[in-house]
Amino acid sequence: MAVKKINQSDQPAATIFVVDDEPMLLEMAAMILAPLQFRVRTFRDPQTALAEFSKANPRPAVLVTDYAMHSMTGMDLIRECRRIQPEQKIVLLSGTVDESIYNNAEAKPDHFLAKPYQVSDFVNLVQSLAKE
């Protein structure tokens, strides 16, 4: 499947934050998104991602986070990021929970993607959110 690039060379690359405690999944996300003209910043530690998010200017176009991580969950990270930037576009990934995890949550992701996911689904989701 051909994937369209959404960025023209005269526009700055949109930044995507990817947070997952699995290094292989971070590397895969970077390999998928970087050729599409995104600036990809990966974080194994959600606390570090939150610190970088809080001082990022501009904020990332999209924040992609796993649910199950060591020091905090993806839902914790989403809650904290929404306090800083309520309109932040966020994707929650998980192979351990489903969308019901945030049914009663005050801060919700924009989209949920179950692992394992199709690369094309991931790309299309990130591209569509980055355009908004």
pLDDT, tens digit, for every residue of 35-86? Answer: 999 999 999 999 999 999 999 999 999 999 999 998 899 999 999 999 999 9
Q: What confidence category does residue 6 fall into, taking pLDDT thresholds of 50, 70 and 90?
A: very low
User: What tokens were used for 107?
Assistant: 């801060």
One-letter amino acid at 83 equals: R
pLDDT attached to residue 70: 87
User: Residue range 103-109: average pLDDT?
Assistant: 95
Cα(18)–Cα(41) distance, rounded to whole angstroms? 6
Of 70, 73, 77, 62, which Cα lies nearest the Cα of 111? 62
The DSSP output letter for 1 is -
CATH number belonging to the domain at 15-131, selected among 3.40.50.2300, 1.10.260.40, 3.30.360.10, 1.10.10.350: 3.40.50.2300
Whether 26 has a pLDDT exceeding 60, the answer reads: yes
Q: Model confidence at 11, in pLDDT bands (50, 70, 90)?
A: low
| 88-102 average pLDDT score | 96
Instruction: Characterize 88-124 residue by residue with b for buried, 16 or more Cβ atoms within 10 angstroms of its Cβ, and e for exposed.
Output: bbbbbbbeebeeebbeeeebbbbbbbeeeeeeeebbe
Torsions phi, psi for 83 (to 5 deg): -65, -35
Domain boundaries, the chain: 15-131
Give residue 71's pLDDT.
Answer: 86
Tell me the whole-structure pTM to 2 decimals: 0.90
